[in-house]
């Protein structure tokens, strides 16, 4: 009887992480279909991004292409979906929040705002500290993929899925918050007069380094969601990486490198005026909540699998 059930139930259906993978692929397929429909109805033509997303989702669901498509296909679809939807959230008329973070900063830091204090004491034009801050800011987009690649290549089965689903889940929680309660970063609050002037450290540094095309998109309306300060996903993603490395007992040097990147990013985004310190605290909290939710989902998947095994026996 056990052999009959094992032959009937595929390995994909039997793994809790694989069930999660299929569920996410199904949801992203629906999301891509909605994007395709929206563009078609609006007369914008067929979206190649949406078609690609749907195709990859089908490949993941059907297990076409083996382990590479199964694992990295979902990463590709999540990236495409995040990029496609970054500026597509509907306007629900929610006002941008400027003052709650400022009030919280002054309460926690004895009347000071860390960004203002750091820039007054450390910022004297583009130098090594500003280059470091730019590199840390940009590492947000590079390090998760690098960590996923290392795990996939050298430690298969030891955290790749946890990393992917953890980042996806905390990003989803963040996007919901950005949608319901848009929040301004320090540089925007400074430009609007809510706090003293905040230098655009990243933007000016990119100009000074000759990266004009990149600098022109930084802090420019329409380039990305500018009012998405709380929570700081720059802070949340490295925490997910730390939790994955710790849970799966990966090498200590990797844990140290991830911790150093997390601290570097936290300093850089506050110093450069991209986030308040309380935004960083919120990012850490969101990462812990997402990790707890992921653990509960996996536990439910294991319990379901165990019940099926007991039924089969």
| Three-class DSSP labels, 84-133 | HHCCCCCCCCCCCECHHHHHHHHHHCCCCCHHHHHHHHHCCCCCHHHHHH
For 111, residues 6+ apart whose C-beta sits below 8 A from its C-beta are none
Cα–Cα distance for residue pair 128/121, rounded to 1 Å: 15
pLDDT at position 87 is 52
pLDDT at position 94 is 59
pLDDT at position 260 is 98
Selection from 169, 193, 165, 179 nearest residue 230 by Cα: 179
Quick one: pLDDT band at residue 86, thresholds 50, 70, 90?
low
Cα–Cα distance for residue pair 15/3, rounded to 1 Å: 17
Q: What angle do CA 291, 294, 298 make, to 5 degrees?
A: 140
- Percent of the residues in the chain that have a pLDDT greater than 90, as a whole number: 52
Selection from 137, 114, 279 nearest residue 215 by Cα: 137
pLDDT at position 20 is 74
pLDDT at position 13 is 47
Average of per-residue pLDDT values in the chain: 85
pLDDT at position 3 is 40
Quick one: pLDDT band at residue 188, thresholds 50, 70, 90?
very high
Q: Which two tokens stand for residue 307?
A: 């019940």
What's the rounded mean pLDDT across residues 71-80? 74
Write the pLDDT tens digit of every residue in 228-255.
Answer: 899 999 999 999 999 999 999 999 999 9
What's the rounded mean pLDDT across residues 26-36? 78
Cβ–Cβ < 8 Å for 49, 84? yes
Selection from 174, 160, 177, 147 nearest residue 261 by Cα: 147
Q: What angle do CA 238, 242, 245 make, to 5 degrees?
A: 135
In the chain, where are the structural domains located? 10-85, 93-312
What's the rounded mean pLDDT across residues 12-30? 71
pLDDT at position 92 is 45
Residue 135 has pLDDT above 90, yes or no: yes
Cα–Cα distance for residue pair 242/239, rounded to 1 Å: 5
Q: Tell me how far the alpha carbon of residue 298 is from its chain's centroid.
A: 20
Owner of token pair 């290549």: 153
Residue 262 has pLDDT above 50, yes or no: yes
Instruction: List the alpha helices (DSSP H) in 109-230.
Output: 114-122, 128-139, 143-154, 160-180, 186-191, 201-208, 212-217
Residue 145 has pLDDT above 50, yes or no: yes
Cα–Cα distance for residue pair 293/264, rounded to 1 Å: 27
What's the rounded mean pLDDT across residues 167-179? 86
Residue 307 has pLDDT above 90, yes or no: no
Residue 309 has pLDDT above 80, yes or no: no
Quick one: pLDDT band at residue 310, thresholds 50, 70, 90?
confident
For residue 55, count CB atoms less than 10 angstroms from its CB and return exposed for 0-12, middle for 13-18, buried for 19 or more.
middle
pLDDT at position 74 is 73
This prediction's pTM: 0.82
Distances in Å between the Cα of 178 and the Cα atoms of 84, 96, 224, 226, 231 are 16, 10, 12, 10, 8
pLDDT at position 175 is 82
Quick one: pLDDT band at residue 300, thresholds 50, 70, 90?
confident
Residue 89 has pLDDT above 90, yes or no: no
> Sign (positive/negative) of CA torsion 149, 153, 155, 160?
positive
Cα–Cα distance for residue pair 267/132, rounded to 1 Å: 10
What's the rounded mean pLDDT across residues 51-67? 76
Residue 291 has pLDDT above 70, yes or no: yes
- Percent of the residues in the chain that have a pLDDT greater than 70, as a whole number: 85
């Amino acid at each position: 009887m056990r052999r009959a059930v094992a032959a009937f139930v595929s390995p994909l259906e039997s793994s809790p992480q694989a069930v999660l993978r299929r569920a996410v692929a199904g949801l992203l397929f629906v999301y891509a279909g909605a994007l395709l429909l929206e563009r078609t109805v609006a007369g914008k033509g067929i979206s190649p991004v949406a078609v690609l997303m749907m195709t990859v989702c089908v490949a993941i669901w059907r297990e076409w292409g083996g382990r590479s498509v199964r694992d990295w296909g979902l990463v590709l679809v999540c990236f495409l979906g995040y990029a496609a939807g970054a500026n597509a959230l509907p306007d629900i008329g929610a006002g941008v929040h400027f003052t709650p973070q400022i009030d919280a900063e002054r309460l926690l830091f004895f009347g000071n705002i860390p960004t203002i204090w750091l820039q007054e004491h450390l910022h004297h034009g583009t130098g090594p500290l500003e280059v470091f801050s730019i590199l840390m800011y940009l590492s947000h987009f590079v390090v998760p993929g690098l960590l996923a690649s290392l795990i996939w290549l050298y430690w298969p089965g030891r955290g790749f899925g946890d990393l992917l689903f953890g980042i996806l889940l905390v990003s989803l929680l963040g996007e919901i918050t950005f949608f319901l309660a848009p929040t301004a970063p320090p540089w925007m609050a400074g430009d609007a007069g809510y706090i003293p002037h905040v230098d655009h450290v990243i933007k000016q540094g990119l100009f000074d380094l000759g990266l004009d095309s990149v600098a022109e998109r930084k802090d420019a309306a329409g380039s990305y969601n500018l009012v998405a300060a709380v929570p700081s996903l720059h802070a949340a993603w490295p925490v997910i990486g730390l939790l994955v490395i710790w849970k799966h007992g990966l090498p200590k040097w990797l844990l140290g490198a991830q911790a150093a990147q997390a601290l570097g990013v936290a300093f850089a985004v506050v110093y450069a005026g991209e986030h308040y310190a309380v935004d960083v605290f919120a990012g850490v909290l969101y990462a812990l909540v997402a990790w707890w939710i992921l653990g509960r989902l996996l536990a439910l998947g294991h319990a379901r699998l165990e019940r099926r095994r007991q039924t089969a026996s």
